[in-house]
Chain A
């Protein structure tokens, strides 16, 4: 408690100094917006609803694409782990494509889907798919053979072994892959939104883009803060409970 108070106070002091530096013209307000300007921007866009609707558009794209990526990646990861042929083909492809920032798909996505939500969806899926697939594959490969043999002696076979033993045993890998996939999807979506304009919805990235065009650095910094906030929050909401559960059960150090 005391420590978070110290952190908070330190940042407050820095903000005040920052405000004064801009106020007295030591830092040009064209280059660095003053904290109060950013606050005013927040006030305006919250009142006219544009910030909330942009956040909504972005989050919807992110969640849809991410979960679609997950739903695809998990079974594909199981397949690469199970079948040598799939591992030597799809597995190799995944290894290559994972290194490609998925915003690099934007030109092709635009060509295939036009300036539509589908293009965005595709880019986000490409962001999360490969790392979750590879993590699932690695997780399954790292399941101790003894777990499976013990299960067989207890009467477990086929699908039961896959769902009750192999999948839960590979959870530590899968969850860290999910986290990495989330980070990739989030970064790629931001890049894509800055890069592509889609008429059906303006996301945070689009706002950031127009902030730059209009030279409105208060808007740019404001949106950057929102993006950081969303990143922190989703980490807390989506992954922390999972990770706590894993730490508790596996007894791994925090």
Chain B
């Protein structure tokens, strides 16, 4: 298990991030959130972005989602530049961002309502299918505030899956959950990914989580936000977060992360 450069895939990459830079201007200072970041993601690949907070992970995800624009560089999906949000790329946020004025089914149907080709019965059917996929078929009439944190993220997952996107962008979706709920979701997300064949970019600051879920773990460093190192994870699936092999991988990556962190601090001190 060595640090490897991104492996050239036989098929053209699904998503390419080409030389993307992004700065944020605040009143007092300027933040260099992303500095010449390039990344290729293969069709069907599960990529985890890991790094300390503030290293630009969310910024990159938002740019891929089309919610923000890079200052320079560009992102392409299937060779076409991304100019705005699109339902081929759905996002799951850390806070579920579910709508309290809609019930569970209404939330999952939100994106489907924007598809004029579907009848209402079809929309309901698609929404119910995805609620079942996340194990919440019995809760479709509940209000958002009645759900636990884990259930909310399941609904958010169903909502993101409902329009059948090819890419799923997940920004620390499990960070606010307790360990037990999280472990259940690791299992679910691996199962759903195998069933539904999605390309997934998953942001986390938890190395173990990244190793458990990712085909590849991409390490970021902050100030400016850069990709430092990438690791292919060849462990067989489904993976158990508590397995020894997984722990070995994450120890190695954690060590790499720490050495980048300390070199960063050294750079700052200079």
Contact = CB atoms under 8 A, between A and B. Distances in A.
Interface of A: 144, 146-147, 149-156, 160, 164-165, 168-169, 171, 248-251
B163 A154 contact: yes
B97 A152 contact: no
B145 interface: yes
Given A153-B89, A154-B90, A154-B163, A147 B99 contact: yes
A249 to B, nearest CB: 5
A169 B99 CA distance: 8
A155 B114 contact: yes
Contacts of A164: 110, 113
17 contacts: A147-B99, A152-B67, A152-B84, A152-B85, A153-B65, A153-B85, A153-B87, A153-B91, A154-B110, A154-B159, A155-B85, A155-B87, A168-B99, A168-B101, A171-B101, A248-B143, A251-B144
B254 interface: no
Interface string B88-102: 011101010101110
Q: Which of A155, A160, A164 has the most CB of B within 10 A?
A: A155
B115 to A, nearest CB: 8
Given A153-B85, A153-B91, A251-B143, A165 B99 contact: yes
B86 interface: yes
Contacts of B66: 153
A144 B95 CA distance: 11
A249 B101 contact: yes
Interface in B122-166: 143-146, 159, 163
Most buried by B among A153, A165, A249, A251: A153
A150 B84 CA distance: 13
Given A150-B91, A153-B65, A251 B99 contact: no
A164 B110 CA distance: 9
Contacts, number: 66
B111 interface: yes
Contacts of B101: 168-169, 171, 249-250
B143 A153 contact: no
A151 B160 CA distance: 11
Given A149-B67, A251-B143, A154 B111 contact: yes
Nearest to A156: B114
B145 A251 contact: yes
Contacts of B143: 248-249, 251
A155 B86 contact: yes
A50 B240 CA distance: 81
A146 B97 CA distance: 6
B151 to A, nearest CB: 14
A250 B99 CA distance: 9
| 3 tightest A-B CB contacts, nearest first | A251-B145, A154-B111, A150-B97
Given A149-B67, A169-B100, 7 more contacts: A150-B97, A154-B163, A155-B111, A156-B110, A169-B99, A169-B101, A250-B100
Contacts of B95: 146
Contacts of A251: 100, 143-146
B103 to A, nearest CB: 8
B93 A150 contact: yes
- Which of B66, B84, B99, B113 gathers most chain A CB within 10 Å? B99
B172 to A, nearest CB: 13
A168 B91 CA distance: 22
Nearest to A151: B110
Contacts of A165: 99
Nearest to A149: B67
Contacts of B144: 249, 251
Interface in B100-122: 100-101, 110-111, 113-115
B178 to A, nearest CB: 20
B163 to A, nearest CB: 7
- A144, A150, A168, most chain B CB atoms within 10 A: A150
B97 A249 contact: no
B93 A146 contact: yes
Contacts of A152: 67, 84-85
A77 B66 CA distance: 29
